[in-house]
Structure 1
């Protein structure tokens, strides 16, 4: 028969092993970087049955207002006032205008999405109002993406973003023949940082007057 004082160390040793096993760290795999096919931006977008890529639905219109961008300067001047001036290469100017013409407002997209965010609708409405008040003016909508994902995928995503904006302007009363679209994908980043701020600024449609 085993002596009771010999059982206690064995029990304590077993408990210590169980605690050590429970505290071991899990291995967390980081996201791939660069333009590899496994990067997050390369995942496919699933559209609801009967909805083609590049269409706008009521559900899209009521999307949660996330990643909202401030549309006023430090002095409180509205972007819709079209009176903002300054160095077009400055970070402040690029945050307000993107590469859009000064009379127009850029719109921004959620990660890996081409639908129009609810908080971007006022910007499109302002762009449509300007175009309707200036019937001789044409516009090019340039779709852009952040750098994650393959070149081919991001070109297609940028095209869907530009087409969605065009469809929205047409719904608001702008003649479709006055609107051209082009996709630059990830090829023309406005901000070159490898961080969420830069990526959020590069997921954008610009509106260039012709």
Structure 2
């Protein structure tokens, strides 16, 4: 075999190896350290364009959420009587009843964060003061991931909030849960800010 033939064969083999390597599947580790059996909310994240800060990754800070006031009365000049479809209302209360406060979750997580505990205590306090009131906890996720996974994630988020209210002394029969997963996004954009607001439990007084 002469030198030119060997060169042609070497180039062909190298080209095939490079082509095969470029087409192979890339394994992307999930954000959560917990083992997953399905795709989490986050099936198609483009990491080359996301320049998230820590605040974006873990959700709104307690200070920013507190801008509404602990009693949910005002946010700047925003009055509790404003339209519930307004952006101000949605940022403050989500879809929660005005007496209650929504809680927010980290990406692909259903654990109540430390900075959301005071919100849970506020909600429990209202229910204790109003024993005739019942509550529906609505679990939501952002749009990333399969519908099935996100419905299950929303259910876990609602259930963990229910269990927390029970630990705080609220009777179980007064609490219902429902999961909407990604089906009812509060904010329909595809920015990290929209996703943060959609990873949420709402508390609806019945």
TM over 0.5: yes
Q: What does residue 126 of structure 1 align with?
A: 122
TM-score by length of 2: 0.68
CA distance in 2, matches of 1:146, 1:40: 15
From 79, 87, 91, the equivalent of 2:83 is: 87
Tell me by how many angstroms 1:91 deviates.
1.2
> Aligned pair count?
155
The DSSP-based 3-state class of the residue aligned with 1:71 is helix
Q: What CA distance in whole angstroms lies between the structure 2 residues aligned with 1:39 and 1:106?
A: 30
Gaps of 5+ in 1: 1-26, 32-37, 48-63
> Structure 1 residue 71: deviation in Å?
2.5
What stretches of structure 2 of length at least 5 have no aligned partner?
Answer: 1-21, 37-53, 75-79
Correspondences of 1:18-97 after superposition (within 5 Å): 45-46=34-35, 66-67=58-59, 68-69=61-62, 70-73=64-67, 78-82=69-73, 84-97=80-93
- What residue number does 2:146 align with? 150
User: For the aligned residues, what is the CA RMSD?
Assistant: 2.7
Deviation at 1:79, TM superposition (A): 4.2
TM superposition score normalised by structure 1: 0.67
Question: Do the aligned partners of 1:155 and 1:183 also contact (CA within 8 Å) in 2?
Answer: yes
Question: What SS does structure 2 have at the residue aligned with 1:168?
Answer: helix
Deviations 1:52-89 (A, max 9, x none): xxxxxxxxxxxx9943151344xxx5142446331211
- Structure 1 CA distance for aligned equivalents of residues 72 and 107 of structure 2: 29
Deviations 1:120-140 (A, max 9, x none): 000000000000010010000
1:40 to partner: Cα distance: 6.0
